[in-house]
């Protein structure tokens, strides 16, 4: 079965898309064509959206699913004229929250993602810069400022996990790749020893690692299954010997990896 899903907002659309994606993921037997439509902030744009929704309804033979976070009631009313099935996220949650709090919502556009109303914005940017500056063991003299340092073999998911934690949570995350030299000595690199309490290990299945590395360096020793298997075995031995907490990243998304790391390490997000 195929359905079209629109994420519509008079702001960035991040809230509508995030919640909508989470809900749609529960329907594994339905193939969704997902369309993000941010900044639908005039009635004229809403009328254009109605045409797009109706065209999708005609093509699919079924109403598109509409996740919307539209504050302006005139724009919302225009969207209700479409042939889509509308889930008004703000109305669904704000009305009962207003009742519980005994206060009315300001119904302002884009408050959760604006610079002016988000005192954590600079923290987010600083964390991203920190992750980029301390990527792949390029620099180690800022590790004292790190909240966490990810370690593992090359291409096991350290960099995307660091960047996600920085962008989503404001976490200052560095990462350090364990190389052949480290494995031959079978000991923790000197640069990491003072920060052992900040270390968290990532490992991965050898066949998955070989596949990833083959995309980068096809038919190389670096990408061979034997080399990948050797590196992973030695690194996992190192993790166990040094009591470094670790997880296998093979079957987890970056979001899942990051959440598991923060829970295990007891690190609170900086962005509230």
Q: Please say if the pLDDT value at position 272 is more than 70.
A: no
Structure tokens, 104: 């009315």
Please tell me the number of Cα atoms within 13 Å of 95 on its side-chain side. 4
Q: Measure the CA–CA gap between 212 and 83, rounded to whole angstroms.
A: 43
pLDDT at 87: 95
Pick the CATH number of 119-265 from 1.10.3470, 1.10.405, 3.40.50, 3.90.25: 3.40.50
CA dihedral 49, 51, 52, 53 (to 10 degrees): 90
The binding site consists of 152-159
Same fold, 2-101 and 119-265: yes
Q: Indicate the angle between helix axes 14-24 and 89-101, nearest 10 degrees.
A: 100
Q: pLDDT, tens digit, for every residue of 97-142?
A: 888 888 876 655 555 555 554 557 788 888 999 999 999 887 898 9
Dist CA 90 CA 73 (whole Å): 11
Q: What is the per-residue pLDDT across 232-242, written as a single tens digit (0 to 9) for each? A: 999 999 999 99
- The answer to whether the CB of 166 falls within 8 A of the CB of 173 is yes
Q: Which two three-digit tokens encode residue 95?
A: 């009305």
What is the model's pLDDT at position 112?
55
The residues, ordered by sequence, that sit 6+ positions from 20 with a Cβ below 8 Å of its Cβ are 5, 7, 34, 65, 67, 87
- The CATH number of the domain covering residues in 2-101: 3.40.50
Residue 69: helix, strand or coil by DSSP? Answer: strand
Mean pLDDT of 173-195: 87
pLDDT greater than 90 at residue 195: yes
CA distances 48 to 55, 119, 157, 262, Å, are: 11, 35, 41, 43
Binding site per annotation, positions for ADP: 152-159
SS3 readout for 183-247: HHHCCCCCCCHHHHHHEEEEECCHHHHHHHHHHHCCCCCCCCHHHHHHHHHHHHHHHHHCCCCEE
pLDDT of 67 over the 90 cut? yes
Q: Where are the domains of the chain?
A: 2-101, 119-265
Q: How far apart are CA 193 and CA 184, in angstroms?
A: 17
Rounded to a whole number of angstroms, the distance between the first and last alpha carbons of the chain is 39
pLDDT of residue 180: 77
CA-closest candidate to residue 86, choices 98, 76, 97: 76
């Amino acid at each position: 079965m195929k359905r079209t899903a629109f994420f519509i907002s008079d702001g960035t659309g991040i809230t509508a898309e995030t919640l909508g994606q989470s809900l749609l993921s529960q329907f594994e037997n339905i193939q969704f064509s997902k369309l993000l439509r941010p900044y639908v902030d005039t009635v004229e744009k809403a009328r254009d959206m109605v045409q797009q929704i109706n065209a999708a309804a005609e093509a699919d033979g079924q109403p598109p699913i509409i996740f919307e976070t539209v504050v302006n009631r005139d724009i919302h009313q225009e969207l209700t004229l479409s042939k889509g099935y509308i889930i008004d996220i703000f109305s669904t949650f704000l009305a009962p929250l207003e009742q519980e709090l005994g206060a009315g919502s300001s119904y302002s556009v884009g408050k959760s993602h604006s610079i002016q109303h988000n005192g954590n914005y600079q923290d987010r940017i600083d964390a991203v810069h920190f992750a980029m500056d301390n990527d792949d063991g390029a620099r180690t003299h800022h590790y004292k400022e790190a909240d966490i340092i990810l370690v593992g073999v090359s291409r096991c998911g350290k960099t995307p996990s660091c960047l996600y934690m920085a962008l989503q949570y404001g976490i200052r995350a560095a990462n350090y790749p364990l190389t052949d030299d480290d494995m031959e000595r079978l000991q923790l690199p000197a640069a990491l020893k003072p920060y052992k309490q900040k270390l968290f290990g990532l490992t991965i299945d050898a066949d998955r690692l070989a596949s990833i590395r083959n995309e980068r360096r096809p038919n190389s020793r670096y990408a061979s299954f034997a080399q990948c298997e050797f590196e992973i075995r030695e690194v996992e031995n190192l993790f166990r010997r040094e009591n470094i907490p670790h997880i296998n990243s093979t079957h987890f998304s970056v979001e899942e990896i990051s959440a598991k790391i923060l829970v295990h390490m007891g690190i609170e997000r900086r962005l509230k």
